[in-house]
Amino acid sequence: MAKPRSQFICQNCGSVSNRWSGKCDACGEWNTLVEENVSSGVGASPSAAKARRGHAVELVALSGETDDAPRILSGIAELDRVTGGGFVPGSALLVGGDPGIGKSTLLTQTAAALARQGHSVVYVSGEEAVAQVRLRARRLNAIEPDIGLAAETNVENILATLEAGKPPALLIADSIQTLWTDQADSAPGTVTQVRSSAQALIRYAKKHGTVLILVGHVTKDGQIAGPRVVEHMVDGVLYFEGEGGHHFRILRTVKNRFGPTDEIGVFEMSDGGLRQVANPSELFLGERNEKAPGAAVFAGMEGTRPVLVEIQALVAPSTLGTPRRAVIGWDSARLSMVLAVLEAHCGVRLGQHDVYLNVAGGYRISEPAADLAVAAALVSSLAGMPLPAQSVYFGEISLSGATRAVSHTPSRLKEAEKLGFGRALVPKGSLSRDEGKAAARSTALEVLEISELTDLAGRILANARKKHPVPGEE
Q: What is the pLDDT of residues 187-222, one digit of tens each?
A: 888 888 888 999 999 999 999 999 999 998 776 565
* β strands within 282-397, DSSP E: 295-302, 305-317, 325-328, 353-359, 391-393, 396-397
How far apart CA 54 and CA 45 sit, in angstroms, is 23
How far apart CA 109 and CA 140 sit, in angstroms, is 7
For the chain, domain boundaries: 1-46, 77-278, 283-467
- Do the domains at 77-278 and 283-467 have one common CATH topology? no
177 against 469, higher pLDDT: 177
- The maximal CA–CA distance of the chain, rounded, in angstroms, is 99
Q: Which numeric CATH code is attached to 283-467? A: 3.30.230.10
Q: Count the Cβ atoms, other than its own, within 10 Å of residue 164.
A: 7
Q: Are strands 353-359 and 305-317 parallel, antiparallel or unpaired?
A: antiparallel
* β strands within 207-258, DSSP E: 211-216, 236-241, 248-256
- The stretch 246-256 carries a mean pLDDT of 87
Per-residue pLDDT of 69-81, as tens digits, reads: 789 999 899 999 9
Give 43's pLDDT tier (boundaries 50, 70, 90). Answer: very low
**Arch. (CATH architecture) of 77-278:** 3-Layer(aba) Sandwich (3.40)
Residue 442: is the preceding peptide bond cis (ω within 30°)? no
CA distances (Å), origin 135, targets 105, 129, 172, 268: 11, 10, 18, 21
CA distances (Å), origin 177, targets 133, 197, 217, 312: 18, 9, 7, 39
Q: What are phi and psi of 310, to 5 degrees?
A: -90, 130
With beta carbons less than 8 A apart as the criterion, state whether 297 and 392 touch: yes
User: pTM for the whole thing?
Assistant: 0.76
* 313 DSSP β-pair partners: 357
Rg (Cα) of the chain, in Å, rounded?
Answer: 27
How far apart CA 293 and CA 312 sit, in angstroms, is 9
Find the Cα–Cα–Cα–Cα dihedral 226, 227, 229, 231, rounded to 10°.
30
